[in-house]
Amino acid sequence: FEEDEAKQQKSINVAVAFCEWKGHRISLVDTPGFSNFLADTRAAVRVLDVACILMSAASGVKVTTGKVWGYAEAEGLPRILYVNKMDRDRANFARVLEDARKNLSAHAVPVMLPMGAEAAFRGVITLLPLRAHTVAPDGSGKVTEGPIPAEFAKEAEAARHALLEQVAESDDALLEKYLEAGTLEEGDLKAGLRRAILLGKVIPVCCGSATKVMGMQAFLDFVAEFLPGPADRPPVEGTNPKTKERVRRPPREDAPLTAQVFKTFADPYAGKISLVRVYSGVLSADAPVYNATRQVKERIAQLTLLRGKAQTPVPAVGPGEICALVKLKETATGDTLADEKAPVLLDPIVLPSPVISYAIAPKSKGDEERMSAALARLREEDPSLQVGRDQQTRETIISGMGRAHIEVAVERLKRKVGVEVQVQKPRVPYKETVRGTVQAQGKYKKQTGGRGQYGDCWIKLEPLPRGKGYEFVNQIVGGVIPRQFIPAVEKGIVEAMGGGVLAGYPVVDVRISLYDGSYHSVDSSEMAFKIAGSLGWTNALGTSSGT
């Protein structure tokens, strides 16, 4: 985790890890839950097979919970809910469950129950099978599995019955068996639950305390047995860059390589690191990889599995794996890595639009270039940050998902690059326009004894609706102004529009119609008509009422 994450005790960036559990390698992607940093969450959701959405046992469903739920739903992901912090004050599993059913999904059903709450929380009850998992109170994390205590037996039986009914209702064949026998055999119940989770017809709800490692073993058992893996998910779809046809890639090692970069960050020692999800084929450390988005080959310096900052080098990864590739020079977040002989482009990762902007400038005048380079590197790590230049106010503008987002970017500029900056509200780039219709002449005539200059035009200036910009209409008939001079008139007008009559701000939302004029067969030129256009604009604007 970054220093700012450790300081604030919350995730700001995506982090990945993995664990081996009962013959399965489970890839984990930790995503931010704070609204200012949900862009990383949006990108990460694209590469998941299952979304595990955490809720606090004390506070239940929050606004960001609903947003993350929506991201997962939009991707068609199976979802599981985890009620965390059962040991905290005001922890109430039943209240949070009802909250989830009301605000997230009516299909939410417990597969685990807490034994106690707050300081009395001592473990969990699994409903498949019906067993109690009691955690030692000494903080060792040691779990004792055994029969369900009598005080929780009735609640556990009722919860298991509710789970059985929910699974039966998810499948017609299972429902028929249930109605005939009044129950389901264990094998049918487990297979039906797994299928219902995959289809989103059952949203399993688990519980525990992560910081005290209470309920974790039972949760991992459930994940390994019931949650879908890469082979259960539909083939990934993309576009053939040559034919533009949609193609599907099954999650098999013998299929062409298809992978996507969903996060980029800089490690102070390893350099640029790209987090990648492999959908099909095999990604090998000893072979170049083809970036189908940028149509370039990249050499992999190292292929690793990450667990926080710890890196485990591996020779290759296959479908479903999430890995880190070191020092891909050309590759950025959202890029597709593919087989060069059978390339495919996965759909781009769409990030939320920024909601707040600030003007940013270095505290030391000599740091402009360093700041620009550092901002470019920050954007590589966080594409939801946008940086641009306001040509009117001549300020550098940084935009993000909220004030905290901008503050983190500023802190990282100082900590990582040594550039101190100041941020402030951007100056308003005022514009001017007109309120009425006016007509005016622009005439430029200059004779110096030899060839002179002559250009004459009549224009009509009128307002347009807000946001329409600028419109030039050529209404010349009969050749009173030759066609080759008309673009010069428009050019003169456009250049003069940079400063209005009220306060010198650019003029917008106007229509200029060129409808009459005259020329001289010898003295007229493009320059003369450009000046005439500028004079016509100035005269028209001077007699109009501006706003």
Residues 271 and 378 in one domain: no
Contact predicate 340/295, CB 8 Å:
no
Q: Residues near 239 by Cβ (< 8 Å), separated by ≥ 6?
A: 245, 246, 247, 344, 345, 347
Residues 191 and 263 in one domain: no
**For the domain that residue 180 is a member of, what is the CATH number?**
3.40.50.300
pTM for the whole structure: 0.81
User: What is the bridge-based pairing of β-strands 310-313 and 271-280?
Assistant: unpaired
Q: Is residue 4 included in any domain, yes or no?
A: no
Q: Spell out, as residue ranges, where the chain has pLDDT lower than 50.
A: none
Are residue 74 and residue 92 in the same domain, yes or no? yes
pLDDT of residue 1: 59
In this predicted structure, what is the pLDDT of residue 547? Answer: 52
Domain finish residue from 208, 228, 248:
228
Handedness of CA 460, 465, 466, 470 (dihedral sign): negative
Judgement on whether residues 331 and 360 belong to the same structural domain of the protein: no
Please classify residue 153 by burial: count the beta carbons closer than 10 Å to its beta carbon, then call 0-12 exposed, 13-18 middle and 19+ buried: middle
What is the domain extent for residue 266? 236-346
| Nearest residue to 433 (alpha-carbon basis) of 394, 476, 465 | 465
The pLDDT of residue 392 is 83
Question: How much of the chain is helix, strand and coil, in % rounded to 5?
Answer: 30, 30, 40
229 SS3 class: coil
- Residue 8's pLDDT is what? 67
Query: How many CA atoms are closer than 13 Å to the CA of 481, on its beta-carbon side?
Result: 29
| Residue 385 belongs to domain with CATH number | 3.30.70.870
- Residue-level pLDDT at 294: 96
> Rounded distance, CA 8 to CA 440, Å?
63
Q: How far apart are CA 48 and CA 30, in angstroms?
A: 11
The residue type at 24: H
Instruction: Return the CATH number at 301.
Output: 2.40.30.10
Query: In the prediction, which pLDDT does 113 show?
Result: 98
Cα 205 from Cα 54, distance rounded (Å): 10
One domain, residues 205 and 266: no
Q: What is the CATH number of the domain that holds 453?
A: 3.30.230.10
Domain assignment of residue 407, yes or no: yes
Indicate whether 298 and 247 sit together in one domain: yes
Contact 209, 121 (CB under 8 A): yes
Q: Are residues 122 and 152 in the same domain?
A: yes
CA distance 489 to 487: 5
185 with 240, same domain?
no
Position 416 scores a pLDDT of: 84
d(CA 83, CA 79): 13
How many residues are recorded in the chain?
Answer: 547
Residue 254 lies in a domain: yes
User: Looking at the domain assignment, is residue 36 inside a domain?
Assistant: no
Last residue in a domain, options 395, 424, 453:
424
CA atoms of 116 and 439, how far apart (whole Å): 83
Please indicate, yes or no, if residue 281 is contained in any of the structural domains: yes
Distance of alpha carbon 481 from alpha carbon 457, whole angstroms:
8
Contact of 114 with 93, CB cutoff 8 Å: yes
Q: Is position 40 within any domain?
A: no
Number of domains forming the structure of the chain:
4
Residues 65 and 192 in one domain: yes
- Domain assignment present for residue 104? The answer is yes
* Percent with pLDDT over 70 in the chain: 97
Listing DSSP states for 436-497 in one string gives: S-EEEEEEEEE--SSS-EEEEEEEEEEE--TT--EEEEE---TTSS-GGGHHHHHHHHHHHT
How far is it, in rounded angstroms, from Cα 445 to Cα 524? 9
pLDDT at 93: 98
- Last residue of some domain: 182, 207, 228? 228
- The torsion defined by the Cα of 275, 280, 284 and 290, in degrees rounded to 10, comes to -80
Per residue in 457-516, pLDDT (tens digit) is: 999 999 999 989 899 999 999 999 999 999 999 999 999 988 877 778 889 999 999 999
Same domain, 190 and 281: no
What is the torsion angle, in degrees rounded to the nearest 10, for the CA atoms of residue 336, residue 340, residue 343 and residue 347?
10
Is the preceding omega at residue 383 within 30 degrees of 0, hence cis? no
Q: Is residue 430 part of a domain?
A: no
The 258-267 sheet, strands edge to edge:
296-298, 289-291, 336-338, 258-267, 271-280, 322-326, 302-307, 310-313
Q: What is the helix (H) or strand (E) element at residue 278, kind and residue range? A: strand 271-280
Does one domain contain both 457 and 385? no
Do 130 and 206 lie in one domain? The reply is: yes
346 closest CA partner among 233, 234, 236, 238: 238
